[in-house]
Amino acid sequence: MASLKELRTRISSVKNTQKITKAMQMVAAAKLRKAQQAAERSRPYSDRIGAVITNLSASMAGSEGAPKLLVGTGSDQTHLLVIATADRGLCGGFNTNIVRAAREEIVSLEKLGKTVKIMCVGKKGHDQLERLYGDKIIDFISLKEHKTLNAAIAGEIGGKITDMFDAGEFDICKLIYSKFVNVMTQEPTVKTMIPAIVAVGSRTGNADDGPSAADDVFAPDLKGAAYEYEPDEEGILKVLLPRNINTQIFAALLENNAGEMGSKMTAMDNATRNAGEMIDKLTLTFNRTRQAQITSELIEIISGAEAL
């Protein structure tokens, strides 16, 4: 049985830990609101740029001048997975869930005989994936160097991706991140960025035609309207498609940031409550030990008095 001094030290240590977890919970709660607003505000812009690309791509259906970012290379052998996680821990299973989704995607692609390359955004994902797939990681981008999330970070990542695509280093690029739903729920998401997947209007094509068929392409719902574009569609898409990649990356980073704060707030709240329960148990043990010690001393005094 632990001595009174040891129990007193442990109680003091757990109380100090509880103060830290409580402070971290309050900081995460303060940051969560701003992060959630930023993530929610990015969604309409991302959806709208997808709708414009859909309309433009529909008018270029079958055109030989369609950009490669829209139609792809014609092959699906080499896949680049951009895996976005947080740079810090203490946020429950947030990073682990993203890495688990990435591992499932990697295993699925390797079973099909595909070549997989990995670009890690965020230290925690890189650390976990390096143990199993260190030979597949071709780039690592840490977010610690940037004080705040901004479009420049997404532009830097997007520029690397488009340069690699232009150099023919991969055929398909997928982004893996965690979509923020609420404080308790974050959904690991796998999204194809290259070739561009348009998702507005009604579905066309046959689901049995294979993975590269039109089951991922949607016909736009123009609601009877006719659009004319200046300059031509090809010129607009050459500018818009790289910007769409940057937009998707930035939106994913904002979703990740909100999810990280929500998961951290929940994890620190649980840690604070667990620390409180541990303090109660240690205090009870301390009181019982002290009472037993007092009783033992009284018995010794009484026994000594009777012996006299």
Residue 179 bridge partners (DSSP):
187
Residue with tokens 């890690």: 120
Query: Nearest Cα to 196, choosing from 215, 173, 213?
Result: 173
Cα torsion 10, 15, 16, 18: sign: positive
Q: Strands, E, within 202-276: which ranges?
A: 202-203, 218-219
The single-letter DSSP state of residue 3 is -
- Number of Cβ atoms within 10 Å of the Cβ of 207: 10
Q: Strands, E, within the chain: which ranges?
A: 78-84, 115-121, 137-141, 172-180, 186-194, 202-203, 218-219
Selecting among 32, 58, 84, 91, the annotated active-site residue is 91
Give the 3-state secondary structure percentages of the chain, helix then strand then coil, rounded to 5: 60, 15, 25
For residues 154 and 253, the answer to whether their CB atoms sit within 8 Å is yes
Task: Tell me the Ramachandran region of residue 92: left when phi exceeds 0, alpha when psi lies from -120 to 50, beta otherwise.
Answer: left
User: Which phi and psi angles does 88 have, rounded to 5°?
Assistant: -125, 160
Amino acid 228 reads E
173 is catalytic: no
For residues 191 and 211, the answer to whether their CB atoms sit within 8 Å is no
Q: Which residues are catalytic?
A: 91
